[in-house]
Structure formats: C-alpha cells, structure tokens
Amino acid sequence: MTTASSILAPLQEAAAPSAPPAIDWATVELPEAWADRLRFSRPSDLRRLWRSLSGRERQPVALPEGLPGAERIPAYVLQEFHNLPNGNYSRRFSRGYAKGFDRSMLGTLRQGRPRIARALAGAERALDLGSGAGHLAMALREVGIPEVWGLEPSPYLLQQAAQAAPQVRWEQGTGEDSGLPSNYFDAVGVCFVFHEVPPRYLRRILAELSRITRPGARLAILEPSPEQWTRGFLSLARRYGWRGPYFRALARHVHEPFLDAWHKQDFGALLAEYGFRLLEDDIGCPFRFFRAERLAGA
C-alpha cells in the first residue's frame, strides 16, 4: 500500500526562482486543433458539434502537431470534459468555455472565487492550481497578494490567462507534477479542479502540495457539492428552490468521469494523511468549500 511518507519528497528551503517561465504563454503561437476547423455552414460539422455538445459522442482529445508543452499533458486530462469538442484543447472552444462556464453556473462563481481569495488574503506567495483562464488568479491579486502563480495544463487556457493577467506568473503543469519550487507558497487556491482528477492522482497532488507549501500555508478549495449529485429533484427544489434541480440536471448532463469517485472520498481524511488540517467544510449548492492549513513538521 502506498503511504504518504513514501510519496512525499524532502522539503527544501524556499528560494525565489530566477529563471523566467520556459514559454511566454501570452505570445507563443498555438496551432489549430480539429475543433477550430469546424465550419458551422457545413451540415456534417454541425452534426459533429451537436453530438459532442449533447454528450452523444465522445472521443479522446487529439493534440495538434507542434503544440508547445504537449509532453507535460497527462493522459487523464485528454478527455472531452463538459462535452466540449476536443476538451479544452482548441482556440475556439477554450475561449468560449471560459465565458460559457460562468454563465452555466448562473454567476455563482462570481461569489465563489472571491470567497477563496478572501480566505487566502494576507499571503505573500499564492498559487492558483488548475487556473483555467485565470479568473481565480486575478481574484487573488485583487485581495492584495503580491506574488501569484497560475498552474494549468492546457496551452490554450494558459494563453488566455497570460494575456488577461500579465502580472501573474503562468506555468504549465498539473498538480501532481507541478515542477514548482519546494517550500515556497504560503497559500493555494483551487477552484473546480479536484473532481476532475482520478483518485490515485489526487493523492499525488496532495503530496505535491505538501512539498511546495510552507508550514502554516493555507488552502482554500471550491468544488461541486454532493448535494446536486446525491439528492433528488424534489428534495433539491424544497431546499434550494429552482436552482437545485437546475444544478442536478447540469451535473448529470456534462461529462465528468471522476465526479462520482470524488464525492465518495473522505477528503478531510486525505488532507490529514498528507499533513493538512481541515478547518472548514461547508456544503451548500452548488459548491462545497474547504479551508485547511499545512501543519508544521508534516
């Protein structure tokens, strides 16, 4: 059985990285994916688009030739999450998703992200893990955190984030293989990431978070709530009004291959196993909010 102690790397003293990111994500040329070449005037392309968006047809993500950083993208993320044609690996649908996701969540993330940022306010060095188009990283900057990093596997999302927030340091990677300096961050924000990770990789991510954070570092995490996953429509309507059934229908429609496994995990126990103490676990609809801190000597 793999244990936390067998995974955790020894902590090293934090040292400010001197080298700039290997790729300037704001300006690098990104190739077109097949999804960028769809033409809505062609009936065959419209049928393909509809089958993807409706969830009737899924295929593995195809990375275009010459994509910068392709070697850093693990296989488990190369799926058409949320029924997006080619997932978040095209210019067109990555741009559309960055705006459409907030709309599909009925604007609730405009409260969710600032909640994460407020929980981490006062930090010196914060990481937005799985940053997408960079909205949380920008919220971290807005609460006055002077040094903010964003980590994201998709070059297409990284480019949007880097263009929108040049004051953030953008790096390509995943939580389990971040390539970030040890013992460096005193705050980490995570927004809608862990439920998209296979359970064995979640353990590796927590081990990596223990490596890159300082003792006393704070974690603030926002994930989908189990309420809309486990409760029935009537129960949700009684408790949350019309939004409850809406979020249940949304959760059941979009492609989230690891969501059920996420909800079945005891996340507080996992945090403790990797040296974090759970301070808050607030379950509502559509969010579940966690707040934790890294213990000294872990």
pLDDT of the residue at 45 = 75
- Pair 195, 258: CB distance under 8 Å: yes
**So what's the pLDDT on residue 7?**
43
State the pTM of this model.
0.91
Mean pLDDT in residue range 137-160: 97
The C-alpha atoms of residue 96 and residue 114 are separated, in whole angstroms, by 22
pLDDT-derived band at 230 (thresholds 50, 70, 90) equals: very high
| % of the chain with per-residue pLDDT over 70 | 94
Q: d(Cα 94, Cα 62) in Å, to the nearest integer?
A: 14
Query: How far is it, in rounded angstroms, from Cα 99 to Cα 283?
Result: 25
Across the range 235-245, mean pLDDT stands at: 97
**What DSSP line would sit under 27-45, residue for residue?**
T---PPPGGGG--TTSHHH
Q: What is the mean pLDDT of residues 64-91?
A: 93
CB atoms within 10 A of CB 67: 16
For 262-293, what is each residue's pLDDT tens digit? 999 999 999 999 999 999 999 999 999 999 99
Q: Is 112 helix (H, G, I), strand (E, B) or coil?
A: helix
Mean pLDDT value across the chain:
91
Contact 56, 47 (CB under 8 A): no
How large is the average pLDDT for residues 69-78? 94
Counting runs of H as helices and runs of E as strands, what totals does the chain give? 12, 7
Of 115, 117, 163, give the one whose Cα is nearest residue 140. Answer: 117
Please give the pLDDT value at position 59.
Answer: 86
pLDDT (0 to 100) of residue 267:
97
Report, as an integer, the average pLDDT of 74-96: 91
> What's the pLDDT tens digit per position in 199-215?
999 999 999 999 999 99
Q: Domains of the chain by range and CATH?
A: 43-104 (no CATH), 106-294 (3.40.50.150)
pLDDT score, position 9? 42
User: Which of 41-50, 55-64, 87-96, 106-115 tops mean pLDDT?
Assistant: 106-115
pLDDT value at residue 95: 86
The predicted-structure confidence for 177-201, as pLDDT tens digits, reads as follows 999 999 999 999 999 999 999 999 9
d(CA 218, CA 122): 10
pLDDT for res 148: 98
In what order do the strands lie in the sheet containing 125-129?
169-172, 147-152, 125-129, 185-191, 213-224, 287-294, 276-283
Chain segment 4-60, per-residue pLDDT in tens: 444 444 434 455 576 778 899 999 999 999 999 988 888 887 887 787 877 788 888
